[in-house]
Chain A
Amino acid sequence: MAAPPGEYFSVGSQVSCRTCQEQRLQGEVVAFDYQSKMLALKCPSSSGKPNHADILLINLQYVSEVEIINDRTETPPPLASLNVSKLASKARTEKEEKLSQAYAISAGVSLEGQQLFQTIHKTIKDCKWQEKNIVVMEEVVITPPYQVENCKGKEGSALSHVRKIVEKHFRDVESQKILQRSQAQQPQKEAALSS
């Protein structure tokens, strides 16, 4: 262990462990706190996105079989300063999004509708649920089943714009479904193996 005295893991090391839930975890050490026995690992993104990673915060109290696959001797890169306000706003928006989604769900909106809503929301913040209808910019109303032809409102740029979004959404959904199916099977296998 090249870790400095008092530290059991050096940043950058590859570590694997098994949780009390019999889940195998492996990743690069990002941080470790001895007092709280918390280990932060960075793993390849579960969605496969190149610039993204999954961060795991592991409570070593409930972990066994911790082993260091390889150690890293280089000094870890300096830490970049963080934009706290950005994070805070993200937390806020994420929460709002989730709540609005929940609201829609509790209203009995279909999954497609929810997804569509989220898609639209990414582009146009001014959209909300009105019963089961999605109201965009107070102008366009999308009624179930939320297809392009369900977009109604005053003819204009807003309506055409929303229609484009809806159209693209369903196109993307189709392509994603195919991907997900192929991907969904792999994780399951892995999970089975790991467990």
Chain B
Amino acid sequence: MRSTAASPLGLAAATEPRRLAAARRPRWRALPRAARHGGRGGGANPNAYPSAAPPPRGPGPPTYAQRSPPSASDCFGSNGNRGGASRPGSRRLFGLGGLPRPFVVLLFPFASPAALSAAPPRASSLGARASPLRSGVSSARPAPGCPRPACEPVYGPLTGRNNSKGLPQSTISFDGIYANMRMVHILTSVVGSKCEVQVKNGGIYEGVFKTYSPKCDLVLDAAHEKSTESSSGPKREEIMESILFKCSDFVVVQFKDMDSSYARRDAFTDSAISAKVNGEHKEKDLEPWDAGELSTSEELEALENDVSNGWDPNDMFRYNEENYGVVSTYDSSLSSYTVPLERDNSEEFLKREARANQLAEEIESSAQYKARVALENDDRSEEEKYTAVQRNSSEREGHSINTRENKYIPPGQRNREVISWGSGRQNSPRMGQPGSGAMPSRSTSHTSDFNPNSGSDQRVVNGGVPWPSPCPSPSSRPPSRYQSGPNSLPPRAATPTRPPSRPPSRPSRPPSHPSAHGSPAPVSTMPKRMSSEGPPRMSPKAQRHPRNHRVSAGRGSISSGLEFVSHNPPSEAATPPVARTSPAGGTWSSVVSGVPRLSPKTHRPRSPRQNSIGNTPSGPVLASPQAGIIPAEAVAMPIPAASPTPASPASNRAVTPSMEAKDSRLQDQRQNSPSGNKENVKPNETSPNFSKAENKGISPVVSEHRKQIDDLKKFKNDFRLQPSSTSESMDQLLNKNRDGEKSRDVIKDKIEPSAKDSFIENSSSNCTSGSSKPNSPSISPSILSNTEHKRGPEVTSQGVQTSSPACKQEKDDKEEKKDAAEQVRKSTLNPNAKEFNPRSFSQPKPSTTPTSPRPQAQPSPSMVGHQQPTPVYTQPVCFAPNMMYPVPVSPGVQPLYPIPMTPMPVNQAKTYRAGKVPNMPQQRQDQHHQSTMMHPASAAGPPIVATPPAYSTQYVAYSPQQFPNQPLVQHVPHYQSQHPHVYSPVIQGNARMMAPPAHAQPGLVSSSATQYGAHEQTHAMYACPKLPYNKETSPSFYFAISTGSLAQQYAHPNTTLHPHTPHPQPSATPTGQQQSQHGGSHPAPSPVQHHQHQAAQALHLASPQQQSAIYHAGLAPTPPSMTPASNTQSPQNSFPTAQQTVFTIHPSHVQPAYTNPPHMAHVPQAHVQSGMVPSHPTAHAPMMLMTTQPPGGPQAALAQSALQPIPVSTTAHFPYMTHPSVQAHHQQQL
């Protein structure tokens, strides 16, 4: 027996000497107590118990006579009494230690976590003590109360042995039953089980078997004497904490219903579990896994090291035999199935054998055989083969994109591949648009550039729902584009040409899409890149931007395209074709197409930039691409937003084109690829026209569109330049040319970006339609790439506001070479806000408005997020943040942004907190869905509603952001009054966004909670602003806003619309279908809403919100794309998105915005500097208001309740949080 007793305890026991020791220690300490307690129990007289005599039946535990008080020690004894015991005892313990394992087992139960720490040495010492204890103490312990005391007796005998052994554990042999492995095993396996101990006098005690000594003394915990009439359980007073039964006192111990496999190590292996199931089909209560205090790395390691591979067949047979009495009839000879081969040496046999071998050889050498064997030996896991999510093809299926890559590309690898993807995506959108050929080239360039940034983003998007959905419809086209995109690198030259055309078209659509698409995945990547590469990129971008700027539009379009692609997927099917092919298709379609185009353009620009610049640093290039992408996305976003609103789309498109044209013109004088640009522009224009046609209802929009068109033309020119630059050489040349020839241009570009941004913002703020268009362009530029943005802005600024451009130019000059310039450009987004102001208060407010515009744009995203509250909203929020960020995008800018942001946020936050908090929660509860639902219902409710849920699901990850958004949504109701507040928050958000491009990304993708948080915060901020606004107290907070408050508010409506649009896009991006739906629904709703807005801001607020929600749905998809882009250039992207959103809104309001151009310019500048922040806040605030209001009205209560909590916190934090978050985001991005 002993020999066999190898190790019942097995690893556990062996591994845990330490534990044992530790365990012992604790016990000791505890023992004293136990002893005391025991005293009460029955321990009154240690010696009193007659060992030999039948245990007294009294209330006390069965007595344990101490025949061997001394011996009793052992584990138990040692524990309790030994505290002071002599060392010899300790040795004995060790002797027991030989038992250690058994002890361990026993002890473990007793041992507390702390015990584990105990050192073996002590144990030994304890042992020594134990011995003495036994002699004296043990007797006292017998009391039922003290289990441990009881233990002592047990040791008595053992000690003797122990002494002889002297040494502890290692060499020690186990004493008593501890030496009997089987006995130890069986007793250990029932530890913790209820048992009944029948003592000599017939009494039966029931308790939980705790441990046993080498002498086979037993300890029961929570034991009580079973009465004959055991109808009910024991009463508390009848239960003794523990009782020690000496081995001489009990007759039989019964453990009922023991599961022999319970304590088996493999209890949780499949085989063990299934084995049980086979035996009994009872449902078992699932128990939470409790590692217990004893589970340590050792045990876990033991599991890790278990190399055994299942059951040995013989084990199985035996098991079945033992457990079920099933005797296997298995015959290894398989005589039942075959006949043994009779070998002989006959010639016949040899012949046949040879023949058989030959055949076998033939078979095994056949390709078919190998292929089949390969299948069997495929080392891919089932997971990979059958269950792993492969997003590309299916999701993007809509897009012919499939051709690109059906393979799922891990985010990490996406960047590399993304390039192709990005291009592909971009291409696809572009493809859809005219000049697909050029598009491809761009895409290629983009791919190269974007791959890292945009690519990743896009991929992410692709990976996410957004792409797929977008892809599907666009798929046919996108694929081509995509393909071309990948291939495009060489084509870049071509791309440049295309960019112009594409940018225009894309601007409208791409913006939204890009934002949505890019933002999610890209965001994360983008930020990082930005952070790390940001500066370099920025510079490159700045340089490139000139080129890019021209191209930027293209890039923006491209990036947007990417986003769009994703976005398009949702609405793509309808939109892309329609928009591009048939104006009638609807603003959306046109927008969508436009977006794609834009994205391509943007991408192209980027790629060119990257190529040109990138030559140097891939990183920078990447960054630029990212930036470009982001811008594009942003642009796209705006456009989409615009698209939602009939006017807006047109305006957006027009704007984008104009922007592009301007950019191209300004930068390269449009020389680079005028034709291409022109083409692009034309398409854009056409698209705008279409949108206009569709939007006809909105005359303002038309006017705006015209303005936008003009801008677009300018952009086209610029873009052309960029396009030419698209080819790397071209880009470089362009850059040089731009730099040298158009240092002003560059400056202008930079300024322009800002200006454009401002314009855009202004436009958006001013007139949803008109402003939106301008904004979108500006945004797109900014989004596309800082440089691009700048260019775009410049163009816009020039076109719209020449004065502003000058300022911007100056800034640009500074910034051009530096990221700051890019930032400025981003800031230009804010200028857009200015545009808004122009509308309302046009020039006066411009400065504020400019900032506000961006904020608006940002707000719009946030708003969108709110609208989409649940799923979509969050994303939207993210987008919004992204949008915001985009503005700051430029690395240098970010810092600035944060600062400005912080101030603004704080104030806003404060204000917001007061009112927003409540609202926020409600919105959150109902969440975005409801709010979104509400909105959709009002605008294009049904579709949106449907989509929002889906989005929500998709965005679930984003939930945090969403929540914030929701709050915003709640605020939306406040819109009109709150706009200022909203703006401030928005601004903050923007600032944050700007600073942390990453934010946008996180938000979009859900990649980073932090970002979301930031977004949320921003939202919260917004919410607060809104509340203040409502109260009108907010104005103070939103001074800047207040100035342009009216305008801003107006703008806000727009922004709100925009935000919504962006958000919708994000949501849409998640689910491509949803996006498409949203897009479709949104467009229609948006127009109406826009109109309404025009008619009544209040109405607009609600409707805008709704629209925004709708847009968001549509945009949501895009936003993701945007985010992706943003990822690369989160800031830019975010901006674009924001802008886009704004644009969408703007379409209706945009027209007014045009007046604001000056503001735009100012805004950009402000944005560039710290001033930017304020503007952003304003813009954001409006956005926020919009969003919040819509939700607030219908959904506010619902969502807010839930949301409020979060918002509150966010709001509270907002002031600071926004900034911190922003910073954090930056860091993350970095």
Q: Give chain A's interface residues, CB within 8 Å of chain B.
A: 4, 6-7, 11, 19-21, 23, 25, 30-33, 35-36, 38, 40, 42, 45-47, 49-59, 61-63, 76-95, 98-99, 101-103, 105-106, 111, 114, 122-123, 125
24 contacts between A and B (CB under 8 A): A21-B202, A33-B176, A33-B177, A38-B183, A51-B279, A55-B258, A57-B216, A58-B252, A77-B318, A78-B6, A84-B104, A85-B294, A87-B189, A88-B109, A88-B191, A88-B292, A88-B294, A91-B210, A92-B109, A98-B207, A98-B234, A102-B234, A102-B235, A105-B233
User: At the interface, yes or no: B597 with Cβ under 8 Å from chain A?
Assistant: no
> Which residues in B have their C-beta under 8 angstroms from that of A6?
1
Name the contact of B252 in the complex, choosing from A19, A31, A45 (C-beta under 8 A): A19
Name the contact of A21 in the complex, choosing from B234, B251, B299 (C-beta under 8 A): B251
Q: Given A36-B177, A63-B251, A102-B224, output 15 extra A-B contacts at Cβ < 8 Å.
A: A47-B257, A51-B323, A56-B253, A79-B8, A81-B11, A83-B263, A83-B267, A86-B292, A89-B290, A91-B221, A94-B192, A94-B221, A95-B222, A106-B235, A123-B285
Q: Are A91 and B236 in contact (CB under 8 A)?
A: no
B70 CB, min distance to chain A CBs, angstroms: 17
- Grouping DSSP codes into helix (H, G, I), strand (E, B) and loop, the A interface class, with mixed when no group exceeds half, is mixed
Q: Are A87 and B216 in contact (CB under 8 A)?
A: no
- Whose C-beta in chain A lies nearest to the C-beta of B206? A98
Task: For the complex, give the distance between the alpha carbons of A182 and B237 in Å.
Answer: 33
Q: Are B215 and A79 in contact (CB under 8 A)?
A: no
- Whose C-beta in chain A lies nearest to the C-beta of B221? A95
CB-CB contacts of B184-195 with A at 8 A, as 1s and 0s?
A: 011111111110
Name the contact of A80 in the complex, choosing from B111, B180, B192, B265 (C-beta under 8 A): B265
B9, B257, B318 — most chain A CB neighbours (10 Å)? B257
Q: Are A87 and B188 in contact (CB under 8 A)?
A: yes
Q: Are B239 and A99 in contact (CB under 8 A)?
A: yes
A121 CB, min distance to chain B CBs, angstroms: 10
- Whose C-beta in chain A lies nearest to the C-beta of B214? A36
Name the contact of A111 in the complex, choosing from B177, B232, B251, B265 (C-beta under 8 A): B232
Task: For the complex, give the distance between the alpha carbons of A28 and B1180 in Å.
Answer: 81
A33 and B185 contact, Cβ closer than 8 Å, known pairs A82-B263, A114-B233: no
> Which residues in A have their C-beta under 8 angstroms from that of B280?
49-51
Q: Are A81 and B265 in contact (CB under 8 A)?
A: yes
Name the contact of B191 in the complex, choosing from A42, A54, A91, A101 (C-beta under 8 A): A91
Task: For the complex, give the distance between the alpha carbons of A50 and B324 in Å.
Answer: 9
- Whose C-beta in chain A lies nearest to the C-beta of B185? A79
Q: Are B216 and A36 in contact (CB under 8 A)?
A: yes
B755 CB, min distance to chain A CBs, angstroms: 56
Q: Are B248 and A87 in contact (CB under 8 A)?
A: no
A98 and B9 contact, Cβ closer than 8 Å, known pairs A33-B180, A51-B279, A114-B232: no
Q: Are B193 and A94 in contact (CB under 8 A)?
A: yes
Q: Give chain B's interface residues, CB within 8 Å of chain A.
A: 1, 4, 6-13, 16, 104-105, 108-109, 111, 176-177, 180-183, 185-194, 198, 200, 202, 207-210, 215-216, 218, 221-222, 224, 231-239, 247-248, 250-267, 276, 279-280, 285, 288, 290-295, 299, 302, 318, 323
Q: Are A62 and B299 in contact (CB under 8 A)?
A: no
- Whose C-beta in chain A lies nearest to the C-beta of B322? A77
Q: Are A86 and B263 in contact (CB under 8 A)?
A: yes
> Which residues in A have their C-beta under 8 angstroms from that of B6?
78-79
A82 and B193 contact, Cβ closer than 8 Å, known pairs A88-B294, A105-B234: no
- Whose C-beta in chain B lies nearest to the C-beta of A46? B256
> Which residues in A have their C-beta under 8 angstroms from that of B192?
87-94
A98 and B252 contact, Cβ closer than 8 Å, known pairs A55-B190, A79-B10, A87-B109: no
> Which residues in B have their C-beta under 8 angstroms from that of A98?
194, 207-208, 222, 233-234, 239
A11 CB, min distance to chain B CBs, angstroms: 6
- Whose C-beta in chain A lies nearest to the C-beta of B288? A125
Q: Are B7 and A56 in contact (CB under 8 A)?
A: no
Q: Are B237 and A106 in contact (CB under 8 A)?
A: yes
Task: For the complex, give the distance between the alpha carbons of A50 and B282 in Å.
Answer: 11
Task: For the complex, give the distance between the alpha carbons of A123 and B287 in Å.
Answer: 8
A53 and B233 contact, Cβ closer than 8 Å, known pairs A79-B7, A82-B9, A82-B188: no
A10 CB, min distance to chain B CBs, angstroms: 9
Task: For the complex, give the distance between the alpha carbons of A189 and B6 in Å.
Answer: 42
A71 CB, min distance to chain B CBs, angstroms: 15
Task: For the complex, give the distance between the alpha carbons of A30 and B291 in Å.
Answer: 29
> Which residues in A have their C-beta under 8 angstroms from that of B202?
21
A79 and B181 contact, Cβ closer than 8 Å, known pairs A84-B13, A88-B191, A99-B222: yes
Task: For the complex, give the distance between the alpha carbons of A33 and B258 in Å.
Answer: 21
A81 and B7 contact, Cβ closer than 8 Å, known pairs A33-B180, A89-B290: yes
> Which residues in A have their C-beta under 8 angstroms from that of B9?
81-82, 84
- Whose C-beta in chain B lies nearest to the C-beta of A114? B233
Task: For the complex, give the distance between the alpha carbons of A133 and B194 in Å.
Answer: 26
Q: Are A57 and B234 in contact (CB under 8 A)?
A: no
Q: Are B235 and A54 in contact (CB under 8 A)?
A: no
> Which residues in B have their C-beta under 8 angstroms from that of A79?
4, 6-8, 10, 181-182, 185
Q: Are A45 and B191 in contact (CB under 8 A)?
A: no
A44 CB, min distance to chain B CBs, angstroms: 10
Q: Are B247 and A94 in contact (CB under 8 A)?
A: no
- Whose C-beta in chain A lies nearest to the C-beta of B253? A57
> Which residues in B have their C-beta under 8 angstroms from that of A58?
251-253
Q: Are B208 and A25 in contact (CB under 8 A)?
A: no
Q: Are B258 and A54 in contact (CB under 8 A)?
A: yes
A64 CB, min distance to chain B CBs, angstroms: 11
Q: Are A52 and B259 in contact (CB under 8 A)?
A: yes
- Whose C-beta in chain B lies nearest to the C-beta of A101? B233
Task: For the complex, give the distance between the alpha carbons of A90 and B208 in Å.
Answer: 9
Q: Are A31 and B186 in contact (CB under 8 A)?
A: yes
Task: For the complex, give the distance between the alpha carbons of A152 and B986 in Å.
Answer: 46
Q: Are A59 and B182 in contact (CB under 8 A)?
A: no
A30, A63, A95 — most chain B CB neighbours (10 Å)? A95
> Which residues in B have their C-beta under 8 angstroms from that of A53?
257-258, 260
- Whose C-beta in chain A lies nearest to the C-beta of B181? A79
B7 CB, min distance to chain A CBs, angstroms: 7
Name the contact of A87 in the complex, choosing from B16, B108, B238 (C-beta under 8 A): B108
> Which residues in A have their C-beta under 8 angstroms from that of B263?
82-84, 86-87
Task: For the complex, give the distance between the alpha carbons of A120 and B176 in Å.
Answer: 42
Task: For the complex, give the distance between the alpha carbons of A80 and B271 in Å.
Answer: 15
> Which residues in A have their C-beta under 8 angstroms from that of B238?
102
A132 CB, min distance to chain B CBs, angstroms: 14
Q: Are B208 and A95 in contact (CB under 8 A)?
A: yes
> Which residues in B have their C-beta under 8 angstroms from that of A25?
252
Task: For the complex, give the distance between the alpha carbons of A93 and B208 in Å.
Answer: 10
> Which residues in A have their C-beta under 8 angstroms from that of B253?
56-58
Q: Are A85 and B12 in contact (CB under 8 A)?
A: yes
Task: For the complex, give the distance between the alpha carbons of A114 and B231 in Å.
Answer: 12
- Whose C-beta in chain A lies nearest to the C-beta of B19? A84
Shortest beta-carbon contacts, A-B, top 10: A81-B10, A85-B294, A90-B192, A91-B192, A31-B182, A106-B236, A57-B253, A31-B183, A89-B292, A85-B292
> Which residues in A have their C-beta under 8 angstroms from that of B290?
89
A37 CB, min distance to chain B CBs, angstroms: 8
Task: For the complex, give the distance between the alpha carbons of A88 and B252 in Å.
Answer: 23
> Which residues in A have their C-beta under 8 angstroms from that of B266?
80
A38, A57, A84, A90 — most chain B CB neighbours (10 Å)? A84
Task: For the complex, give the distance between the alpha carbons of A114 and B239 in Å.
Answer: 16
B305 CB, min distance to chain A CBs, angstroms: 12
Q: Are B187 and A40 in contact (CB under 8 A)?
A: yes
A184 CB, min distance to chain B CBs, angstroms: 12
A141 CB, min distance to chain B CBs, angstroms: 22
> Which residues in B have their C-beta under 8 angstroms from that of A93?
192
Q: Are A91 and B208 in contact (CB under 8 A)?
A: yes
Q: Are B257 and A82 in contact (CB under 8 A)?
A: no
Q: Are B16 and A84 in contact (CB under 8 A)?
A: yes
Task: For the complex, give the distance between the alpha carbons of A76 and B6 in Å.
Answer: 13
Task: For the complex, give the distance between the alpha carbons of A7 and B181 in Å.
Answer: 13
Task: For the complex, give the distance between the alpha carbons of A36 and B265 in Å.
Answer: 28
> Which residues in A have their C-beta under 8 angstroms from that of B210?
91, 95
Q: Are B183 and A102 in contact (CB under 8 A)?
A: no
A171 CB, min distance to chain B CBs, angstroms: 14
